[in-house]
Amino acid sequence: MRLVIRPFAIELKEPFALSVGSRTSTPAVLAELHHAGLVGYGEVALPPYLGWTQAAVCQALERVVWPDDPDPLNLDALLTAAASALGDLPPALAALDIALHDLFGKILGQPLYALWGLDLARIPPTSLTLSLAAPEAIQRKARQATEYEIIKLKLGGPDDRALVAAAREATDRPLSVDANQGWRDRAAALDFIHWLAERNVLFVEQPFPARRLDDHAWLAERSPLPIIGDEAIRGMADVIAARGVYHGVNIKLAKCGGLRAARAMLTVARALGLKTLIGCMTETSCAVSAAAHLSPLADWADLDGAALIANDPFTGAQLIAGRLTPRPAPGIGVEPRAPA
C-alpha cells in the first residue's frame, strides 16, 4: 500500500467572509492510497481558524508506516495504528481515513452508505452557506440559490438583524444562522433568537466563543431555537461534554479525524439526545462526498463546500432535490476530473 500526499490550494469562487475574517483560498491536503491497481482518495481542508497547517499535516502523513503486507479490509486496525502514529492531528487522520475507506469500498465493490446499511432516502436537505455580505448581495444570492431548500447565513457582525431581514425578504425557505463565536452578550443573544424564531430559522450555530460553556448552557436552557456547537465540537469527548451545554453538535470530518470517528460521534450524539448537523469546510468533492455517505445519520446537513470552490479536482456526490447524494459507485464514489 503506497500513500501519495499532495498539498493543494483550494480557490474559492468568491471571498468567504466570517465574523473572524475573510479568505479567498483554503489550504488542503489530498491523499491517494494505491493498492493492487486501485486508488483510494482522501482529503482534508485546513481553514486557518482550526490552527493546523498544511505543512504539519503533510509531514505527519509522511511519517505513517504501514505494517508489512497490510490488508486494507482490516480497516479498523489500520486506522487505530495510524491514529496513534499521527498523534493529536485529526486532519491528517481525516485525509488518511477517507482514502482508506474509499479503498475499502472499492475492494468490496460497494458504496460506503451501502456497506453501512444506510438509506439514501434519509439524507436531509443540505443548506447553502452565504458568507457575511451586504444585505443586497445576500438577497441576490438567496434568490439565485433555487436548488437549495435551506439557506445558511453567516452572522456575528454588526448588522445581523438587517441581514436576516434581507434574506427573509428574498425567500420564504427556512434559514439557519451561524454566528461563528461572534456574539458576546447573553441577553442580547436571547432577545435576537426570539426574533429569529418568528422568522422560520431552524437553529443557531456557535453563538459565543467556544470556551464560554456557561454562556452557552444559559442560552440553551432558554432559547426557543436549538443551539448547535461547532467550533466547540471536535472529537468524541466534546460530543459527550455538549450535553447540557448545546442542543446539538456540528460534526465535520476534518475536525474529528474522518469517517470512522464521525460515524461514532453521530451515533453517540443521537444516543445522548443531541441534534446532529453534518458539516464541511470549503473543500473539494472528495471530502464532501465522503461526508455525504454519513448524512443519513444526521438531522441536518451543511455539505455545500464543493459548491463554493472554483478548482474542484473531483466529481462526486451531486445535489438531487436539494440533497447532496453520493454516486452509487464503490467507496466514496468520486472520480478525478481530467486535467484542463
Of 98-106, 158-166, 227-235, 259-267, which part binds Mg ion (CB under 5 A)? 227-235
Residue type, 92: A
Give the residue with the Cβ less far from Mg ion, 205 or 304: 205
- Identify the helix (H) or strand (E) that includes residue 127: strand 127-130
Of 40-48, 156-164, 198-206, 256-264, which part binds Mg ion (CB under 5 A)? 198-206
Give the residue with the Cβ less far from Mg ion, 226 or 313: 226
Shortest distance in whole angstroms from residue 338 CB to Mg ion: 34
Cell of 44: 482534508
Kindly tell me which residue out of 32, 97, 160, 230 binds Mg ion, with binding defined by CB under 5 A: 230
Per-residue binding string, Mg ion, 7-26, x by CB under 5 A, is --------------------
Q: Is 102 in the site for Mg ion (CB under 5 A)?
A: no
Find the radius of gyration of the CA atoms of the chain.
Answer: 19
The greatest distance separating any two alpha carbons of the chain, rounded to the nearest whole angstrom, comes to 61
Rounded Cα–Cα distance for residues 119 and 113 (Å): 7
Kindly tell me which residue out of 205, 215, 283, 304 binds Mg ion, with binding defined by CB under 5 A: 205
Chain position whose Cβ is nearest to Mg ion: 230
Give the residue with the Cβ less far from Mg ion, 156 or 313: 156
The SS3 of residue 157 is coil
Of 58-66, 91-99, 154-162, 229-237, which part binds Mg ion (CB under 5 A)? 229-237
- Give, as one character, the DSSP assignment of residue 105: H
Give the residue with the Cβ less far from Mg ion, 19 or 54: 19
Kindly tell me which residue out of 102, 178, 304, 312 binds Mg ion, with binding defined by CB under 5 A: 178
Residue 147, φ and ψ in degrees, nearest 5: -85, -5
Of 14-22, 50-58, 103-111, 228-236, which part binds Mg ion (CB under 5 A)? 228-236
Cell match 425567500: residue?
171
Give start and end residues of each alpha helix (H) in the chain.
54-62, 75-86, 90-108, 112-115, 135-144, 160-170, 186-197, 213-222, 236-242, 253-256, 259-271, 285-294
Rounded Cα–Cα distance for residues 159 and 180 (Å): 14
Give the residue with the Cβ less far from Mg ion, 178 or 283: 178
Q: Which residues bind Mg ion (CB under 5 A)?
A: 178, 205, 230
